[in-house]
Structure 1
């Protein structure tokens, strides 16, 4: 559940920051470095979260279940 929240929050955060950067570019102003860094951080967080979800899913599917 936590990985899903990380992916969702970083996805929304990325698109919010992308909109801010687009506004700067639309006004022919340079995009602040902090804004670009924020986009990179949220993209990385989403990628790590997605990879974590994939690993978790494959682990659950491929490892044999233990009898309790």
Structure 2
């Protein structure tokens, strides 16, 4: 069965581990300057792109 699946051609190759550094998108200077989360009225407000929102809702309704 292994000869039919092609597994005999696979070979493990060791790869050296690499460190992953993740930088915060919020800088300490922004926090000290008074950075705060956006208000719900700003996130869900009337400044949305209404044509895009209508297209998204319409396509969502079609796919359901």
Report if TM-score (shorter chain) is over 0.5. Answer: no
Highest RCO, 1 vs 2 (Cα 8 Å, sep ≥ 6): 1
TM range (shorter): under 0.3
Q: So what's the TM-score if we normalise by structure 2?
A: 0.26
**Larger Cα-atom Rg:** 2
